[in-house]
């Protein structure tokens, strides 16, 4: 094992992902090579310092708070009940309208994105292009009250279909 191979194995050693013969070879190299031995000690110590650094302690009532927020959200949801009383053909129309709104909202989002992209640094730009999560656009949809309860409409709106639609819009 040469120095480069040895140092490439640091993570495998730290995370227990090296087969025993490779781990033994790396340790033998540390013993013989002062530079790699010192590099390993720093590498390991830096990781241990990170892993043992104190974490933020969440508020003791965090879980209870989320549960009450959840209750509040659930209580709000019958707001979409009015639509359920519509005749079926109207409900289908509403579903189509909601989808259309979803599409236009997503397009607005896309336009805003283009404007904002120009202002962001390249790294952020790259992030947006490669990992833009659809969830972001569903977040955007949440702002419109009608769309807020999409998944509770009857007949149900296929959320996955809308997500796919958004994906398509975003990929063009």
Q: What backbone torsions phi and psi does residue 123 show, to the nearest 5 degrees?
A: -65, -45
Question: What is the smallest separation between the CB atom of 10 and Zn ion, expressed in angstroms?
Answer: 12
Phi, psi (degrees; rounded to nearest 5) at 24: -65, -40
36 contact choice in other proteins, Zn ion, none (CB below 5 to 8 Å, kind-dependent)? Zn ion
The minimum distance between CB 56 and other proteins, in angstroms, equals: 5
Q: How far is the CB of 4 from Zn ion (least distance, A)?
A: 8
How far apart CA 102 and CA 40 sit, in angstroms, is: 53
Smallest distance from the beta carbon of 3 to Zn ion, in angstroms?
3
158 touches 166 (CB < 8 A) = no
Q: Report the residue number, 31 or 135, with the smaller CB distance to Zn ion.
A: 31
Segment interacting with Zn ion (CB under 5 A) among 27-35, 82-90, 115-123, 159-167: 27-35
Give the CA radius of gyration of the chain: 27
Structure tokens belonging to residue 20: 């025993």
**Residues in 39-58 that interact with Zn ion by CB under 5 A:** none
What is the rounded CA–CA span in Å between residue 170 and residue 137? 10
Alpha-carbon 136 to chain mean position:
9
The contact set with other proteins (CB under 8 A) reads 8, 10-11, 14-15, 17, 42-43, 45-47, 49-51, 53-59, 62-63, 65-67, 69-70, 73, 116, 119-124, 127-128, 131, 133, 135-136, 139, 151, 159-160
Selection from 16, 14, 23, 18 nearest residue 45 by Cα:
14
Residue choice 18, 26, 36, 153 for contact with Zn ion (CB under 5 A): 36
């Amino acid at each position: 094992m040469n120095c480069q191979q040895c140092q490439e194995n640091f993570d495998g050693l730290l995370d227990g992902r090296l087969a025993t013969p490779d781990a033994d070879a790396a340790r033998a190299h540390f013993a013989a090579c002062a530079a790699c031995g010192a590099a390993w000690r720093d590498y390991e110590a830096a990781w241990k310092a990170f892993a043992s650094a104190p974490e933020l302690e969440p508020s003791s009532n965090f879980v209870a708070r989320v549960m009450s927020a959840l209750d509040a959200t659930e209580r709000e949801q019958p707001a979409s009940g009015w639509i359920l009383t519509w005749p079926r053909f109207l409900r289908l129309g509403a579903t189509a309208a909601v989808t259309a709104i979803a599409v236009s909202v997503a397009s607005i989002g896309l336009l805003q994105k283009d404007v904002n992209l120009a202002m962001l640094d390249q790294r952020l730009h790259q992030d947006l292009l490669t990992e833009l999560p659809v969830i972001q656009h569903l977040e955007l949809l949440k702002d419109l009250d009608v769309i807020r309860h999409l998944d509770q409409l009857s007949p149900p709106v296929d959320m996955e279909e809308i997500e796919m639609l958004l994906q398509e819009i975003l990929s063009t």
